[in-house]
Structure 1
Amino acid sequence: MDNSKKRIISIDVNAIREVDLIEQLHHRIEQEESGYACFSNVHMLIEAYDNSDFAEVVNSATYALPDGLPVAKSFRVLHGISQERIAGMDFLPLFLHHCNLKEYRVAFIGSTEEVLEATRSKINRELPGIVLTHLISPPFGQSWENEKYVRQLNESNTQVVFVALGCPKQEVWMHAHTRQIDAFLFGIGGALPTYVGVIKRAPAWMRKSGLEWFYRLLKEPRRMFKRYLYTNSKFLYLLARHYIK
């Protein structure tokens, strides 16, 4: 299977069409192959640039997918090839549709109990082919019962696990447990609240223009300002430097 990756500054990102990705995922899941997928945006890329241990976590992933439009566009700048964006927020509902058709056994770990219950209701109502095995909300600010979670997932024959712990925590967790869990793991970040309608997503024109980050900044200026000021500026600087090289 073609699973080629290209270096984008600090991480190796898959050069792949979404339709081919889904075909490969079905093969891996039905062959009971474990692994994990990261949705790589500018924030993750800069985290990896600043932290070599985290870079190893992302670069060890089965898939590091171009979540952010700037990351997808970087393929053209650095490698002269076209690459579509594969955003976690778009991939979640799309792949849940495929899980429904295949009647996969699916679990979620992360987010709040309220969001997880809304997820349960939405899936039971709209995607009855999915077998929901577990919805786990780990305690905030406390140690987790990782051995218990792993045992629960394996004993229930879960095939797909969506991990919603946020970057970089979810990637580190997937990397640490992928060999113990007999399922394929997806780090979906903050996609769940948007999926169930708790948080409104940016309009389509902003997503297509690469301005989804600006929409989030407008919604959460205090939390997002420092992150975007630092990560976006550093990304543009590093991209220009690598392009010149």
Structure 2
Amino acid sequence: MIDQGKKNLLGVWVNALDYDVAVSKIINAARESKPCGVSALAVHGVMTGVLDETHRYRLNQFHLILPDGQPVRWALNLLYKTHLPDRVCGPTTMLLVCEKAAEEGLPIYLYGSKIEVLKTLADNLCQRYPKLKIAGFQPSKFRQVTPEEKAEIIQQIRSSGAAITFVGLGCPRQEVWVYEHMDSLSMPLLAVGAAFDFWAGNLPKAPEFLSQLGLEWLYRLLQEPTRLWKRYVFLNPLYMWLFLLQALKIKKFEPLEATPPSQEMRYG
């Protein structure tokens, strides 16, 4: 098991750990009903924090930022000699947490996406893990919610009896949601991005050999070029350039140089 704490990557704190440690920390928080904000960040997720001081503040309040994506793992290994053997990707972490939750009788909740996706996802998860308890699910409203709606969402999740909530709203909306709800929901909240569509069977996952080469982004770009081309064409080269500046100690990236949100966004 590998757990080397948080490392500064371009001003964003990323945990240098493996799947075993990540799952253990999440399940322990679920057992003890403790807040635990979790996100798995690949290059795009890290860059949302680099380019937005307010979002960087949010990310740096999370309990766990998982090194999703080989370029993030490689950066930690090169900068800090962490010797991480693999990335810790969100969709795989979701399955591992569901497997452990099923073993321990910890109910889960699914928040985000569309109702048809959630129904298929819930069915698929229960087929994979017959002992898994799904306390409930509700789709995204695809807009900012009112304070009254936010309170209702919190109450629904609390009253469901869930011990863990998975959030699939897309980056960075899901990280905003987790940040806003971490303290009011005393349980692990996992921002898992495309995992809902992967495990519902709506979106094919990249072949493992491409993921190992750090080319999962290329596979996803070919799947959704209209939606993703700006993300990868602009952010990937910028990430590489900024990483080089940090590695050569030409530029310092200070996690504390971040701006707390002036008001809640209340994504839903």
Same fold (TM over 0.5): yes
Maintained 8 Å contact 1:158/1:182: no
In structure 1, the residue corresponding to 2:17 is in which secondary structure? coil
Counterpart check, 1:204 vs 2:205: no
**1:81, CA displacement in angstroms?**
2.1
Aligned to 1:215: 219
1:139-180 Cα distance to aligned partner (Å, 9 max, x none): 223526211111111122210000001111111111111111
2:228 corresponds to which residue? 224
SS at match of 1:213: helix
Q: Number of residues paired by the alignment?
A: 245
Q: In the alignment, what sits opposite 2:66?
A: 65
Higher relative contact order (CA 8 A, sep 6+): 2
One-letter amino acid of the counterpart of residue 62, structure 1:
H
Identity of aligned residues (%): 26
- Which blocks of at least 5 consecutive residues in structure 1 are unaligned? none
| Partner residue of 2:160 out of 156, 160, 163 | 156
Q: Conserved in 2, the CA contact under 8 Å of 1:102 and 1:129?
A: no
> Which SS does the other structure have where 2:145 is aligned?
coil
Q: Within 2, Cα distance between the matches of 1:221 and 1:128? A: 36
The worse-fitting range, judged by mean Cα deviation, of 170-179 and 118-127 is 118-127
For structure 2, the 5+ residue unaligned runs are 250-268
Instruction: Report the TM-score, using the length of structure 2 for normalisation.
Output: 0.87
Tell me the C-alpha RMSD between the 2 structures.
1.6
Distance in 2 (alpha carbons) for counterparts of 1:210 and 1:91: 18
Task: Give the distance between the partners of 1:86 and 1:115, measured in 2 at CA.
Answer: 24
The structure-2 alpha-carbon separation of the partners of 1:242 and 1:3, relative to structure 1 and needing over 3 Å to count, comes to closer
Residue 26 to residue 3, structure 1, CA distance change in 2 (3 Å): farther
Give every structure 1 segment of 4 or more consecutive aligned residues whose post-TM-superposition deviation is greater than 6 Å. none
Greater mean deviation of Cα atoms: 67-76 or 14-23: 14-23
Aligned to 1:131: 133
The CA distance in 2 between the partners of 1:64 and 1:169, in whole Å, is 15
Alignment of 1:23-38 (within 5 A): 23-38=24-39
Contact 1:10 1:45 survives alignment (8 Å): no
In the aligned structure 1, how far is the partner of 2:203 from the partner of 2:57?
A: 32
